[in-house]
Amino acid sequence: MKLLTNDILFSGISVIIITTFSVLLYADFNKKIEAGDAKQIGTITFKREVAQRKYQSQVVWEGIDQNFPVYNNDSIRTSDLSEAVIHLLDGTDINIEENSMIMLSTLENAININFEQGSISANRSGVSGTDIAAINIKSQDATVSIDKSNIQLTQLDNQELDLTVSDGTAKVKSGTAETLIKTNEKAVISSDRQETRVVQLKFDLKEPSSNRFFISEAQKTDVSFLWELIGNFKNITWEISKDRSFRKIISSQKSLQQNTAKAELAEGVYYWRISALNSDNNQTEFSETGKFNIVLRNPVKLISPQPEEKVNHSGSQNSVLFKWSEDDLATDYTLEIAGDKNFTGAVNRITTPLKSITVDNLNQGEYFWRVNSRINIGGEQLVMAGQTSSFKIDKLKVVNPPVLISPGKGEKIDSAIVKTKGLIFNWDNDPSFSAYTVEISRNSDFSGELIRQDRNVNFAEIQRDIPSGKYYWRIEGKVPSGEKIPYSNIGDFEIVASENIALVSPADNDEIKMESDAKRKDVQFSWRKSEIKGSYKLQLSAKEDFSDAKTVNFNDRNTGTAPVESAGTYYWRVLLTDDQNREILKSNSSKFIVSVEEVVPVTKTYLIVKSPIKGGRIYIDSKFKAYTEFKQEVRPDADISVRIIAPGYTDFSTKLKVNSGETYTLSATMQKSKKLERVKWVTPLTTPISSTPLYYKDKIVFCSENGHVVVLNSTGSVLLSKKITRRFESKPVVYENNIYAVDVDGVLYSVDYSTGKVNWQVKAGGPLLFKSELAVSNGKIFLGTGYGIVEAYSIEGKKLWENELDEAIYNSLLVVKNSLIIATDALKLYSLDSGDGDKNWTVKIDEKVITLTPLVHKDIIYFGCYSGTFYAVSLDDGDIIWTFKSGGPIYSSPIVVDKSIYFGSEDGFVYSLNDDKGTLNWQFKSSFPVKSSPVYAFGSIVVANDRTVFSLSPSDGKVLWQTTFDSRIKTSPAFAGDTVIMGLVNGDIVSVRNNLIEIVQ
């Protein structure tokens, strides 16, 4: 017993220690970080999504909400799609955009902001007085100083700072120089913060002003846009986007003649800009980016007093409680009470940050009231008037009797609840009364035995066992003067006998089977729920008197499992208990029998595997089992994979099932094979080819750099080699047994596919640059020359039309849906009508497109630029859907497989992107730049770099195989039936196979 006592004592102390430290840990996790004695310097007047604050003395970031105080030396940061506005005590508003971070500190004559990252703006239009503290924004070794000015400061992707002054001036100290930035000027501060370059802004975005907040109670808001241009501009384009990079353009207007635009927009943050063609230099220029917010406001709703409510006042009580709903944007509220609905003679005007207030000393009469919200956001202070409601105050000549509330008239109350929880009586609370008397009786005239209780509050609790039956109750109110007040109305209620818990499963005398080798049996129990709230406890016993009962707590559930350890007869019942573990209800008991199932002999199931080759390695479900022959017991009707491997033979693989009780013998057959070389054949030429070979009717067609048109058969033998001109660099096209090609002098040839005879030749509008290609579609030949001329010819060589774009073309044409897609060195992508060459649309891109042919998939144009940007553009209207940034120039024509886009880049990577969103699926790093285009062959992505051709898995970019050549690879690979072909710098045409196993017997 001594040992037992010590154990109990030790366990008790352990529980106390664990509980104490658990409570302390929980409190530490949930306590609010305190600012200590730090000085408040401002307030958070607006917050969207996630914003956090860190005190100078803390290392933990905490979330902040609207109207939170900001203290000296606080650090503030925002997350993705988030924003915060700080209103400083001097009237300055600091707007912190997404993914930004600053630290604020104030001195006597200056406000210092340490700018870490992102984008911020400072608006000092609300600052007044003569002794104005300067704001110094510091980023590394550069400092931006302003007095009463409005500025925007953004850290760009290349770590440069972009400073725009929309009002006033700013001084920039970088390196040893100090630069003054004036209104409508922009400063670009170098990434090392040593140099500052000033640019005069040619676009003045007037409305909406920078960081303007529109507060709206409607789902859509009309926004007007106004701008001015300085200089000779035309073809104005207005754009509005959900992001600062303008990847998500939601509205645009092109070729505007006026300097205004309008849009109907929903709640959110928006960015807008203007672009126009500068007639002086023929370049498209862009404005700075404007930003504004549309904030949806939920106006205040008046709660109490209700419209036209009659408020009764006794002689000793004359106060009215006013309540209203919250306005999320409000800094505080002003309650106005007046005797007329126009509020010309206000009786009372009270300003409070709360959502309720009690007003005393209101005389009898009719009143009108409203609640106005004061909103301080984005440098503007707004007062939003609320709706008007009315109420009346009546002074009672007499005090009315109390009004009964609970129990309700005729209410039935379960005796089990009364027994365990007692009976609660409640009536209205009239301040005229100083005390109450509760009377309860079995008789309506309150004769006979009474339950009587004196109370000074408007409720009473009877804690006793009250017999079932009907009861009557009333309240007598007492006033300080001693005046006799009539009783309340008489209420009645009924105490009814408790309901029973009905057991459902197992039913009485049910038999439950238990497996012969089982150590226990989980039995499913269920019962009908009572309307009384509580916790259900299942009692399970092998004895009818439940003397050895095991109790299982099911909380509020009325179904679940409980285990029995052996066969036998069991009894069960269910208790309903309250939160003090006191019994409310108890079910009747029920009996069930657990019996052991009879063991039925099971015939075993076997699989025998025999290899046709002696020494063949046998694998079952990917695990090595034996050589030549193997027998194994298997699960009946389960999927089994079998593989046999033998040197010099093709692998044998199969899946099978064996019926229960059977022995199945698998006799495999295997084919003798030999391993092949990766390179199938090599055909040397006197000079190399510059462009990708073409596969046509089981033959390979290409043009060589010495001006020959060459045709090979599928084994690499030369069928045709015809000298046509001095040099070809462009890929030919075969159409209706004629070869069409353009030489380096800009001559377009039609050559007979079988004989090599020149059908006709015509001088085109210039050469095709950078190995770009012509296109043939619907009996028409299309080409875009280096001189910027787009031409269409018939297949007989007759020119049908031309369009002089006056902009050089470096890439290959794409013909799709009666449109020609082409890019120019003016950094534009064009869509031209294939019927007459007229322009459908054009869109600005960030660099030239060289060599490659764009891809169209699901009415979206995909292509890459020399800048490394990969675009997805709408075929219908040229809107940019998304962009992706690679690490180097892109010369590679993209391909699509399922929902993925593939291309190579000079940064040495092969990229796989999601076609819908432009997100990266995977990237494969090769050791050299990837300038060639990939091809989909053998179910894989085949692509070449400097000397190596790779086969990559489309799903994850893993290398399936690779082959390296002594000579550099000059062309992109082309799929040719069962091989991939390409040209090398040394003049060889090589054929590379995928399958290296050949069946010989």
Q: Is the pLDDT confidence value at 316 over 80?
A: no
Residues 468 and 535 in one domain: no
Name which of 203, 271, 191, 267 is nearest 239 in CA terms: 271
Question: What CATH number has the domain bearing residue 251?
Answer: 2.60.40.10
pLDDT-based confidence at 237, cuts 50/70/90?
Answer: very high
Domain range spanning residue 619?
A: 606-671
pLDDT the model gives residue 349: 86
Average pLDDT over residues 513-536: 86
Look at the alpha carbons of 230, 231, 232, 237 in this order and tell me if their dihedral is positive or negative.
Answer: negative
pLDDT-based confidence at 395, cuts 50/70/90?
Answer: confident
Report the chain's mean pLDDT, rounded to a whole number.
87
pLDDT the model gives residue 421: 75
671 by DSSP, 3-state: which? coil
Structure tokens of 48? 């969207």
Count how many Cα atoms sit within 13 Å of the Cα of residue 899 in the half-sphere of its side chain.
7
Residue pair 885/869 in contact (Cβ under 8 Å)? The answer is: yes
pLDDT the model gives residue 2: 40
Q: Is the pLDDT confidence value at 11 over 60?
A: no
Is the bond preceding residue 208 a cis peptide, omega within 30 degrees?
yes
Q: Is the pLDDT confidence value at 7 over 90?
A: no
Please report whether residue 410 resides in a domain. yes
Please report whether residue 525 resides in a domain. yes
pLDDT-based confidence at 34, cuts 50/70/90?
Answer: low
**904/927 Cα distance (integer angstroms):** 13
Domain end position, chosen among 371, 395, 419: 395
Cα–Cα distances in angstroms (integers) from residue 858 to residues 775, 898, 914, 919, 934, in the given order: 21, 11, 13, 17, 20
Contact residues for 52 (Cβ-Cβ < 8 A; gap 6+)? 61, 62, 63, 64, 76, 77, 78, 79
Q: Is the pLDDT confidence value at 3 over 60?
A: no
Amino acid identity, residue 268? G
Average pLDDT over residues 931-953: 95
pLDDT-based confidence at 750, cuts 50/70/90?
Answer: very high
Q: Is the pLDDT confidence value at 36 over 80?
A: no
Q: In this structure, what DSSP letter does residue 217 have?
A: S
- Residue 802's CB: how many other CB atoms inside 10 A? 14
Average pLDDT over residues 627-631: 91
Q: Is the pLDDT confidence value at 890 over 90?
A: yes
**226/233 Cα distance (integer angstroms):** 16
Q: Is the pLDDT confidence value at 4 over 50?
A: no
**721/710 Cα distance (integer angstroms):** 4
Q: Does 535 or 28 have the greater pLDDT score? A: 535
pLDDT the model gives residue 62: 84
pLDDT-based confidence at 843, cuts 50/70/90?
Answer: very high
**60/382 Cα distance (integer angstroms):** 35
Rg (CA), the chain: 43
Residues 531 and 471 in one domain: no
Residues 70 and 182 in one domain: yes
**373/682 Cα distance (integer angstroms):** 83
Residues 447 and 507 in one domain: no
pLDDT the model gives residue 715: 92
Please report whether residue 481 resides in a domain. yes
Domain end position, chosen among 160, 183, 201: 201
Q: Residue 386: exposed, middle, or buried by beta-carbon count in 10 A (0-12, 13-18, 19+)?
A: buried
Domain end position, chosen among 560, 577, 596: 596
Phi, psi dihedrals of residue 172, rounded to the nearest 5°: -115, 120
pLDDT-based confidence at 318, cuts 50/70/90?
Answer: low
- Domain total of the chain: 6
Cα–Cα distances in angstroms (integers) from residue 395 to residues 305, 322, 504, 788, in the given order: 16, 18, 61, 92
For Cα atoms 472, 477, 481, give the angle at the middle one, nearest 5 degrees: 155
pLDDT the model gives residue 774: 93
- What percent of the chain lies above the pLDDT cut of 70? 94
Residues 67 and 195 in one domain: yes
Q: Which helix (H) or strand (E) holds 416?
A: helix 415-421
Cα–Cα distances in angstroms (integers) from residue 672 to residues 336, 627, 652, in the given order: 99, 18, 11
- Residue 703's CB: how many other CB atoms inside 10 A? 28
Average pLDDT over residues 884-891: 95
pLDDT per residue as tens digits for the range 100-159: 899 888 876 788 888 888 889 888 877 877 677 888 898 888 898 888 888 888 888 778
Residues 313-352: b if buried by 16+ CB within 10 A, e if exposed: bbeeebebebebeebebbbebbbbbbeeeebeeebeeeee
Please report whether residue 189 resides in a domain. yes
Contact residues for 391 (Cβ-Cβ < 8 A; gap 6+)? 305, 306, 307, 308, 309, 310, 311, 320, 366, 367, 369
Average pLDDT over residues 852-876: 95
Contact residues for 492 (Cβ-Cβ < 8 A; gap 6+)? 409, 410, 444, 470, 471, 472, 473
Residue pair 986/679 in contact (Cβ under 8 Å)? The answer is: no
pLDDT the model gives residue 29: 47
Average pLDDT over residues 986-994: 93
Average pLDDT over residues 463-475: 83
442 by DSSP, 3-state: which? coil
pLDDT-based confidence at 257, cuts 50/70/90?
Answer: confident
Please report whether residue 508 resides in a domain. yes
Structure tokens of 430? 């009239």
Residues 48 and 197 in one domain: yes
Helix-, strand-, coil-residue percentages of the chain, each rounded to 5: 5, 55, 45
Token pair 């007047």 in the structure block, residue: 45
Structure tokens of 584? 């409310």
Q: Is the pLDDT confidence value at 496 over 80?
A: no
Residues 249 and 145 in one domain: no
pLDDT per residue as tens digits for the range 69-91: 888 888 899 988 788 888 888 88
**769/38 Cα distance (integer angstroms):** 68
Residues 289 and 323 in one domain: no
Residues 314 and 450 in one domain: no
Structure tokens of 814? 């794409």
Complete DSSP assignment for 488-521: PPPEEEEEEPPPPPPEEESPTTEEEEE-TT-S-E
pLDDT the model gives residue 323: 93
Name which of 125, 277, 124 is nearest 203 in CA terms: 277
Please report whether residue 887 resides in a domain. no
Report CA 280 to chain centroid distance, whole Å: 44
Residue 961 pairs in a beta bridge with 951
Residues 194 and 307 in one domain: no
**508/626 Cα distance (integer angstroms):** 57
Residues 368-384: b if buried by 16+ CB within 10 A, e if exposed: bbbbbbbbbbbbeebeb
Question: What CATH number has the domain bearing residue 127?
Answer: 2.60.120.1440
pLDDT per residue as tens digits for the range 45-58: 888 888 888 887 77
**How long, in residues, is the chain?**
1001
**843/880 Cα distance (integer angstroms):** 8
pLDDT the model gives residue 720: 93
Please report whether residue 850 resides in a domain. no
Complete DSSP assignment for 133-195: PEEEEEETTEEEEESS-EEEEEE-TTS-EEEEEEES-EEEEETTEEEEE-TTEEEEE-TTS--
**333/927 Cα distance (integer angstroms):** 67
pLDDT-based confidence at 1, cuts 50/70/90?
Answer: very low
Residues 373 and 484 in one domain: no
Please report whether residue 950 resides in a domain. no
Residues 49 and 192 in one domain: yes
Q: Is the pLDDT confidence value at 290 over 50?
A: yes
